[in-house]
Each structure stands twice: as C-alpha cells, then as structure tokens.
Amino acid sequence: MVIGEMDAAQVAAFFRGKNILITGATGFLGKVLLEKILRIQPEVTKLFLLVRATDDESARRRVQTEVTGREIFQVLREKHGKGFEDFIEEKVYPLAGDVMYEDFGLDTAKLKEVSKDVDIIVNGAATTNFYERYDVSFDTNVLGAKQICAFANKCTKLKMLLHVSTAYVCGEQEGLILEKPFMMGDTLREGTHLDIESELNLIKHTQMELKANCATDKAQRKTMKELGLKRARRFGWPNTYVFTKAMGEMLLGHLRGDLPVVIIRPSIITSILKEPLPGWMEGVRTIDSVFLGYAKQALKFFLVDPNTIMDVVSLHPHIENIKRDSIYILITHKTQLSLVWTDSGGHGGKHYDGGHASALRGTSTDHLPCDIIHEQPGLLHDSPGVGPPLLRGQPAARGKRRAHPAEQDALL
C-alpha cells in the first residue's frame, strides 16, 4: 500500500455531523480533545460530556468552570467573540453521571436519548494515580471499562468506541516486547493466572473486614493502597494504575462482541507543542516536576544518560503524508511511531515501520462511513514544522525495538 497525502481537512471531516460521547472531559487530556474538535470541526453535531455531578445543571457549571472556562479555550473564545457561550451551549451537552455505574447512572429518558444519538464514544475517564487505593482504581479503570462496553452495546448507530489506555500496561519488561492485546487471565509473571472476578471479591472482602474492625479512614486508605500494590506486583505489574488499566483492556476485549473497539496506548503525555497555545500545561504531573525544578533552578542538576530516548508525547496532534484508506492509528513509544490499519473489510494487520503498535480490535469496519478514526500526537523531539520522522520516510529514533506484526502470531 502506498502512503499518500492526507491533510487536516480530511481528519476534521470525520467529525462533521457526528454525536460524540466523551468521558473524562474534565481531565487534562479530555479538555484538550474537546477544544480540538470544536476548533477544527465546528460542524460536529453534539458533544455529550459525562461529568461527575449531582444533576445536569451542576454538570453544566462544572464544565464551565473546569473545562470551557480554562485558558486552553482562549483561541476558540477569541474566534467566536460574544457568540462563544452560545456556540458552546449549542454543541456541548453535559451529563451528570459516572462510568462506574450501570448506564452511567442516567435516567431512562436520558439514556434513550443518548444511546440513539451517539456515533462515537471516547473513554478517557480514569484514575491515573500510580498508587491509588485498589478499590478506587478498580472501580474506575476496570469496572468503568465494563460499564462503557455495556453502554456502547446499547448505542444503535455506534461507529467506534475509543478507549484510552497506557503504554505501560507492558510493565517493566526490556528488549523485544510483542505487541498484542490482553486476553482474560493474562499476566506478566509466568506461572500466574489473573481472575478479575476474584480480584473484585478480594476487594469486597477486605472492605468488609476493615468495616468490621472499625478501621479509621487513614487505616482504610493505607490498607487498600497496599493491597493494590501487592496484587499488581504479584502478577508482574509495577503499580496499581497500570495493573487496573490492563484489566480494563481485558474486559473490553472480552465483552465487546461486535463493537468496533480501538484501544490506544500513549506513553507520558506532556504539554502542548504548538497549537492552540504553545507550551500550555495544566498542573504539574509525571516528569513535569523535574522540568519545572530545573527551569526555576531549584534543581541544579540531575543524573541522566545523554543517549536516553525520552518516552514523552506532546499534546499537539500532528499528522501528514498518510493516505486515507481504512482505520489509522498513530501511537508512540520510546519516541518511535507505528502506523497500524486494516483494509476495508477489517482484515490483516498492516504496519508502517516498527514502533509501539496499538491493540486494535475493531475487526469489522466495512460499515464505517469515514475511515480516519484516530490521530496520535506528534513528538517533542521533532524539528519545528516537520512531521514525525517515520512519516517522512526517515529512520526512527533508536530505542527498544517493538515487534513488527509479522513477527507475531496475531495483531488483531
């Protein structure tokens, strides 16, 4: 297959006239996605935002305060001027709900309205604390994925369910890491078998014991955090976050049925590279504290290997030199890129160079009216104004090599 040209207009065209349900919209990545869609495709029909709140009015106020009122919407606000609020009200529909509840806790009327309208679901809801309480992390990252899948199966015209996972579900392995989806029961430690139902029962049993012993809130937090780490390490994962995200992937793969599901696994997501606001960041997360400390000269030096490849993804989406064919996923790992797609019938895993491929499970795509379903951000190390190296036909930055799909039994 020949890699051709695809401009931003073709990407934006996919969202025209679509109804999209976004979970995790109040989070860092969620609000960037919302702003991007509204800015590049104002003809999107509706953006349903699932927000934790007591009612829809509270959800609306939370969206105004925590999302559309933030600095990242400055360019969009200037573009629409006095009509900005009307534009947002026309396009954005906050919903009071939570991914950990059946049907997100929506009432019957609201459930019926949303399920018949939604074309795309983007599940970005997650707790990303590495050492979160096991019960809290399990509720959102595991049971949340289950509820997302159950809801998606009720959507009569759904074209895609996009689930945001993490590159670090692969754990702390080194060398050649085969890229493949997680099956139920898979673990990273040889000789072990993971039973998600048993993990849920263990959580419930521990909670009952703590309650019976009249444990303090502090004692409960400590016990549940330690339980999460213990269970994660038992099965080969380094922390509770990546462990529960891996289980979430397993449930999606197991329960999706005929749903067109895409799982993306970005690495460390950091500030915006170019647009709408170069360098925009919200809060201090992951490696940002190191950069911030060095910039403020509070951290005079830190030990590094100058040949180390930064495993960082900019929030600025960049894509070029790609021919529109069927399903495209651009994913990053160790600053390498992979392009994975299927043909119009969903057959065969085709791959453009070696990097970190995605766990693509949408095996029936011939009913999709548009082909481009995901764009992964460009990389911090790219030269200004230049596309990702693999898409320019240049060698990738050197790092741990990921398996080419031809080296695996199956990619899809």
As annotated, the active-site residues are: 241, 245
**Alpha-carbon torsion (172, 178, 183, 187), positive or negative:** negative
What residue type is 300 in one-letter code?
K
Q: How many CA atoms lie within 13 A of 47 on its CB side?
A: 32
Alpha-carbon distance values, 86 to 31, 71, 91, 151, 389 (Å): 18, 18, 9, 30, 41
d(CA 43, CA 21): 16
d(CA 362, CA 374): 13
What residue type is 357 in one-letter code?
A
Q: Which two tokens stand for residue 193?
A: 């078998």
**Alpha-carbon torsion (61, 63, 65, 66), positive or negative:** positive
Which of 389, 408, 379 has its CA nearest to residue 268?
379
Look up tokens 């945001």; give the residue: 164
Please answer whether residues 249 and 165 qualify as being in contact, where contact means their C-beta atoms are separated by less than 8 angstroms. Answer: yes
